[in-house]
Amino acid sequence: MAAADPMSSSDAPEDGPKETSSVSQNITDADAFKILLEMKIKKRQKKPTLPSTVTELDTEDGSKVYVVGTAHFSDSSKKDVVKTIQDVQPDVVVVELCQYRVSMLKMDEKTLLKEAKEINLEKLQQAIKQNGVMSGLMQMLLLKVSAHITEQLGMAPGGEFREAFKEASKVPFCKFHLGDRPIPVTFKRAIAALSFWQKVKLAWGLCFLSDPISKDDVEKCKQKDLLEQMMAEMIGEFPDLHRTIVSERDIYLTYMLKQAAKQIELPRASESEPRKYIPAVVVGVVGMGHVPGIEKNWNSDLNIQEIMSVPPPSASNKIFKFVIKATVFGLMGYGCYRIGQRTVQFILSMPAAQNYLQKLTEIRSHH
């Protein structure tokens, strides 16, 4: 919440009421917090009329969680998020993002649209450097799916998260939390769950995705998120992959929402004053495909340590990694072949190349 610029002493009227300054000086930080919190609570609608995409959940200590199920490429979802946050005036907003994807909150729609469409070698190298060969390739393949939808609709993903970020900043004392499992962990666990041939088959399906998508298709998917529905269709024969990409993240998102919904401690005027707590109000913004899983796990005791561990690479991972490297070097060799013998001879005749070859020859003669 932006604070107004204080009026300078020279601009203040000389004959103004002097009691105001003395009264304001007597208000403690705790009192000011209580006043603003009361204003915020009064602004909350006791029985808000929320969109049909909102699921209301309660905690044992009386906190309320409003989960907005969204389609990641939907204007309607953005409106649902804005209305929900404005009506319930939450203490915390939790979104289905992790620290590796938080940059999309600060980019404008035009930049994101351009970024989503441009999947190049530099991005692939960055993904591999950050997540390893296998997880990096999986990330780029999933980005290709997202880019395909982006290109078909002319709409950048994650608009509902950006709207949530903007609206949360307008609500007094509202915190903004990232609620999704780190994407490198998800990809590494997903890769480890597949056999060698399953990896090849999945990669093939993602590489040759080309089905047209309309805006009507997106809005129909308000009942099930479009991106996750497309992924579910492609990975339907891989239950282990569905478990790591969807079911485990359902558990993680549920855990983070429950953590955000812990009661809020009110500020105390002094250490001797007893601690007081009030129930929290939380808004969660997640893909529609995660809502059933969150409802299913809501009343369970959750432990996320197991789903945060990354298993060591299997033999099939090593084989697939070797195949990828062999393919890359093969393509490079084919490229040199296509350049032609004369071009190669020209490169080898250059002084820099001659010096390098001479050094190699000297090194070999010394050994």
For the chain, which residues make up each domain, given as ranges?
45-312, 318-356
Average pLDDT estimate for 227-240: 61
pLDDT at 344: 47
Which DSSP state fits 49?
-
Instruction: Please name the residue that has the structure tokens 């913004």.
Output: 285
pLDDT at 339: 46
Average pLDDT estimate for 289-303: 95
Q: 314-363 pLDDT, tens per residue?
A: 555 555 555 555 554 454 454 444 545 555 455 455 555 555 556 556 65
**Helices and strands per DSSP (H, E), number in the chain:** 18, 7
pLDDT, averaged across the chain: 75
Q: 5-43 pLDDT, tens per residue?
A: 343 334 444 444 444 444 455 677 777 877 888 888 888
Average pLDDT estimate for 273-281: 92
Q: Of 146-150, 216-220, 282-286, 313-317, which range is least confident?
A: 313-317
Cross-strand bridge partners of residue 96: none
3-state helix, strand, coil in the chain (%, to 5): 60, 10, 30
pLDDT band at 91 (very low <50, low <70, confident <90, very high): very high
pLDDT at 212: 63
Cross-strand bridge partners of residue 66: 56, 283
Cross-strand bridge partners of residue 68: 54, 285
Number of other CB atoms surrounding residue 105 within 10 Å: 16
Q: Tokens representing 254?
A: 């549920």
Return the sign of the alpha-carbon dihedral for residues 129, 126, 139, 201. negative
Average pLDDT estimate for 145-167: 79
Q: Tokens representing 305?
A: 């340590």
Highest mean pLDDT out of 103-107, 234-238, 246-250: 246-250
- Percentage of the chain lying above the pLDDT 70 cut: 57
For residue 68, is pLDDT > 60?
Answer: yes
Average pLDDT estimate for 281-309: 95
What does pTM read for this prediction? 0.71
Q: Tokens representing 101?
A: 């994807």
Helix (H, G, I), strand (E, B) or coil at 186: helix
For residue 141, is pLDDT > 70?
Answer: no
pLDDT at 222: 47
What letter represents residue 227's amino acid? L
pLDDT at 11: 43
Residue 351 burial by Cβ neighbours in a 10 Å radius (0-12, 13-18, 19+): exposed
